[in-house]
A and B are shown apart, each in its own frame.
Chain A
């Protein structure tokens, strides 16, 4: 099977500081793949090398298909209007902007505004539209929902799912674990320039284990517990309260998020 992206032995350093220590991974066609990592883990550097915006010292990068890029920190001239930017970028790429794509992202509604007047969410939508102008096979999204409100996030998630439904491959870098858990088929976790995990969310969970958080409200106050085996722990706690004559008013169970598992792995506690 030919992959959308194949990376072998990718290395990069800035002076004495080694940022990437020989990455090896692939992205399958049509999947949503996420690069995760704490700040400074090397995910944006890796992404920008794959996007051909930055050079690497060593490694082999194969990208099969047209690429569209939405950068983490892209900007445009303050006084440009969204449709002017769309026309400028479309002309340089010798493509016609797809009206349905522009309508779906709400770019037409922004016609009279200048870039400086757009909200963060509107700017993200515009940069996504610019990335999609050439109808790319592979879309790179670096922190696509950073700085967006809940509504903006949900709207962008919907757009990303639509892109996947159209058969596009999506590679994203994110800090938002809930986003990754909801959207992605596979994830790679970068820590200190190396991949410490690659696989599905379920595989990550199986590797690290789920840790449950219990919050029990009684007539004497609230208490929190952590447990790997929720059934046994609950029974033991309830039995204990009963023996002491404490009345249990409410029980809340948090099954733990991917973020906790990610942090465990990134910090080397998951091995």
Chain B
């Protein structure tokens, strides 16, 4: 247990030293929030009601889908994996420690949006903060699950960037955070239903718990965990 906790703590430090994760987990999402928050609320004052949720969904999607996978590829598609294997460090450590570390970073980033949005943009706070943060945790867990699958499945950074964008862009454009889903044509609305950002945004915007918005995320998370186990086993036997 002490080795595991040391590994997670160490990963937290490495993430802070690595500028790339800080950029995708803090700098870009918070800059986006600062710029788009002003535009959204001036173009449509009603956007203040869901500004915290929409900006958080964007930030979490960016950190989980664009930030986490390259760090995983750095370990699992490189000689670091061999060094771990040869020296008795279990292969899952890289994945689990990065997942937990990124989870905490994304919670902090979401907390910054939660605290500053009402002060800067007069955004409305969620009615039930505990419920909101609970659903936020679920959404972060699911998004990082997808990021983990991408990081374990891809062997090269160029392909990874392409695939990550293929998931990230629909997450932003079709989830309802940029404009109402009702305005989208049927095909795009259906496509939007396949990305966790859509369900995360609905869950966090709800004033009460709706199981119908949770189960798609639970299914995606279960599939991501299963895929991660399969991919880790494949990497182990390589």
Interface set of A (CB-CB < 8 Å, partner B)? 51, 53, 55, 69, 71, 73-80, 84, 87-89, 91-94, 114, 127, 130-131, 133-134
Instruction: Decide if B75 is an interface residue (CB 8 Å cutoff).
Output: yes
Name B residues whose Cβ lies closer than 8 Å to a Cβ of A.
2-3, 6-7, 10, 13-14, 17-18, 74-75, 78-80, 82-83, 85-90, 93, 237
Q: Which residues of A contact B17 (CB under 8 A)?
A: 79, 114
Beta-carbon nearest neighbor of A80 in chain B: B14
> Which one, A78, A80, A93, A114, contacts B10 given CB within 8 A?
A80
Given A55-B237, A77-B74, A91-B3: A71 in contact with B88 (beta carbons within 8 A):
no
Which secondary structure characterizes the binding site on chain A? Answer: loop
Q: Judging by beta carbons under 8 Å apart, are B86 and A53 in contact? A: yes
CB–CB A69/B87 < 8 A: yes
Nearest 3 A-B pairs (CB), nearest first?
A91-B3, A79-B17, A75-B79
- Contact check: which of B74, B75, B79, B93 meets A71 at CB < 8 Å? B79
Q: What chain B residues lie within 8 Å of A92 (beta carbons)?
A: 3, 7, 87-90, 93
Check B83 against A71 for contact (C-beta < 8 Å): yes
A-side contacts of B14, CB under 8 Å: 77, 79-80
- A88 and B85 alpha carbons, distance in the complex (Å): 13
With contact pairs A69-B87, A92-B88 given, residues A74 and B79 touching in the complex (Cβ less than 8 Å): yes
Q: Give the Cβ gap from B16 to chain A, nearest Cβ, in Å.
A: 9
Nearest Cβ distance between residue A146 and chain B, in whole angstroms? 13
* Residues of chain B contacted by A133 (CB below 8 angstroms): 87
Contacts of A76 in B (CB 8 A): 80, 83
- Chain B residues near A134 (CB, 8 Å)? 88
